[in-house]
Amino acid sequence: MKGLVLDAEWKPRDGYLLSDFERQTGKAVTGSSVWHKPTLIVQEVEKPQPGPDEVLIRVKACGVCGSDIHFYETDKDGYILYPGLTKFPTILGHEFSGVVEKVGGQVKDIAPGDMVTAEEMIWCGYCTQCRNGFPNHCENLEEIGFTIPGAFAEYIAVGAKYCWKINEFAKVFGSEEKAYEVGALTEPTCVSYNGMFARAGGFRPGAYVVVFGAGPIGLAATGLARAAGAGKIISFEVSPERRALAQQVGADQVYDPRAVTPSEAILELTSGQGADFFVEAAGAPQVTIPEMEKSLAINGKIVQIGRAAQRVPMYLETFQVRRGQFYGSQGHSGDGNFPNVIRLVASGRLDLSPIITTRYSLDNVVEGIAQSAVRPAHDGGARRHGKILVKP
Ligand SMILES: [Zn+2]
Ligand SMILES: [Zn+2]
């Protein structure tokens, strides 16, 4: 079968000390400090066979994620930009849906013909964090498309316990093809859902909700805020294309954060009260968090979902006098996230299909990743696409 294989040279940067774990497993904890000169090539690879507790899925759609872009783009020294856990060579792609073709002997709840999507985080279920109910912090984590083969391929074998059925999507979206496309949005949507509702505990119906960033995670957060009954949703995004998408999925007001002072716009739109619930999905907390602090409602919440490995100025006095709360969020597993998101989509109450802006074939997946990475200079170097899908 065909698959998009990423290979790179294992070449720790000068001064990066490999841990015993990295030496023994061949996994880099900080990928951007180890993997040099990546190559992405669609090539013939062996078709996987499902183990006893696995299912074999024929992939129907797989989204390009920001992390995939960070394997494609390198820094000036030739290292990948993705800073997380990685082991190469492997097949990329982790936001996918497909049809089950075969199941292992121990699989009970999934059958050939089922339409499914899957978690990307392969939590072990045995370590202390998993047993304590924190699968997103598993100590033995494998990640589909990062450390084990992913879904920019014709087939993928996945443990049945990570798969979720999306059969009902065909009814609400009118065709299986559309159902698979929307199904491929489940994983990133669950990242937003996990941050907003599992971690931060959500907001009351009618609340003022602000989302910084309208990439796929911010757009999913906007759609979820509408589905969850926000009273007013305000979105800040640099790219005009993405601002238009934010409006389509539920934002009442959209702004270019360079054209206004966000905190002033928020205070004006909330009659001086400030917003009840902030989502940071821009990955630029050094500029967004200070604006949130200045426009935080009493009892307001901030949830950090975007990634940015840097220190952020926070004036903690604000969190005291305004009874504020700050939450950090990572991952998408556990807490009913997948079944809840799937139920919302199946009910027709959450339709993120407008955020799918382009489709590529598997043969052209590298071009699809390159397109996702495009940053027009006139938009201050911001990405403009919604979600790009690859369909084998
Ligand atoms: Zn992703
Ligand atoms: Zn674990």
Ligand nearest to the CA of 190: 1
Q: Are 120 and 187 contacting, i.e. CB atoms less than 8 angstroms apart?
A: yes
Q: Which of 19, 32, 33, 70 is catalytic?
A: 70
62: Cα separation from own chain's centroid: 12
Q: Calculate how far, in angstroms, residue 120's C-alpha sits from the geometric centre of ligand 2.
A: 14
Q: Calculate how far, in angstroms, residue 297's C-alpha sits from the geometric centre of ligand 2.
A: 37
Rounded CA-CA distance 294/283 in Å is 19
Q: Calculate how far, in angstroms, residue 121's C-alpha sits from the geometric centre of ligand 2.
A: 10
Q: Calculate how far, in angstroms, residue 51's C-alpha sits from the geometric centre of ligand 2.
A: 20
Q: Which residues surround ligand 1, an ion (CB under 5 A)?
A: 65
Predicted confidence at residue 382, as pLDDT, reads 66
Rounded CA-CA distance 339/334 in Å is 10
Ligand nearest to the CA of 64: 1
Predicted confidence at residue 114, as pLDDT, reads 98
Predicted confidence at residue 307, as pLDDT, reads 85
Q: Calculate how far, in angstroms, residue 105's C-alpha sits from the geometric centre of ligand 1.
A: 30
Ligand nearest to the CA of 120: 1
Q: Which of 32, 33, 67, 372 is catalytic?
A: 67
| Residue 208: closest CA among 284, 282, 299 | 299
Q: Calculate how far, in angstroms, residue 191's C-alpha sits from the geometric centre of ligand 1.
A: 9
In the annotation, is 94 catalytic?
Answer: no
Predicted confidence at residue 262, as pLDDT, reads 98
In the annotation, is 67 catalytic?
Answer: yes
Instruction: Please identify every stretch of the chain with a pLDDT value under 50, giving residue numbers as ranges.
Output: none
pLDDT tens digits, one per residue of 252-286: 999 999 999 999 999 999 999 999 999 999 999 99
Ligand nearest to the CA of 145: 1
pLDDT tens digits, one per residue of 22-45: 999 999 999 999 999 999 999 999
Q: Calculate how far, in angstroms, residue 65's C-alpha sits from the geometric centre of ligand 1.
A: 4
Q: Calculate how far, in angstroms, residue 331's C-alpha sits from the geometric centre of ligand 2.
A: 13
Ligand nearest to the CA of 141: 2
